[in-house]
Amino acid sequence: DTGVSQNPRHKITKRGQNVTFRCDPISEHNRLYWYRQTLGQGPEFLTYFQNEAQLEKSRLLSDRFSAERPKGSFSTLEIQRTEQGDSAMYLCASSPDRTQETQYFGPGTRLLVL
C-alpha cells in the first residue's frame, strides 16, 4: 500500500494526558498537512509542512499542539494536556509539489478524550 498511513487509528485517553499521532505520507510527496474533523463538519486546516519546514499554522493550533517533520518524511502531531474538546478525527494529507491543490488523505486517527 503506497497511500498515506496514520497511526494509531484510534486513541482513547484521559483528560490531561499527552498523545502523539504519526503520519507517513506518500513517499515522493514533499507537502504534508494536518487537519481536524469533528462530527458533522468538514476537515479544518491545522498546519502544513514543505519538506521539514512548517510553513503555515492555523489559529486553531493552540500552544498545546505541536507538529514536527524532522527529516521531511513522516510527521508527528502531539497534543499536550488533552481536553475533552480535543476529541476529533485528526487527518493527515500529502501532495506533490507540482499539484498544490490535490491532497491525498490518510485514514485518520480518531481521538476520544474522557
Half-sphere exposure of 3 (CA within 13 A, CB side): 11
Using rule CB under 8 A, residue 48 touches another protein: yes
**CA 17 to chain centroid:** 18
CB count in 10 Å sphere of residue 69: 21
Written as nine digits, the cell of 89 is 478525527
In the list 17, 18, 41, 51, the residue contacting another protein (rule: CB under 8 A) is 41
**Distance, CA of 37 to CA of 112 (rounded, Å):** 13
Segment contacting another protein by CB under 8 A, of 12-20, 48-56, 71-79, 80-88: 48-56
Using rule CB under 8 A, residue 2 touches another protein: no
| Cβ closest to another protein, residue 76 vs residue 107 | 107
Using rule CB under 8 A, residue 21 touches another protein: no
Expressed in percent and rounded to 5, the helix, strand and coil fractions of the chain are 5, 50, 50
| Cβ closest to another protein, residue 18 vs residue 99 | 99
Residues that bind another protein (CB under 8 A): 4, 6, 31, 33, 40-45, 48, 55-58, 91-93, 100-108, 110
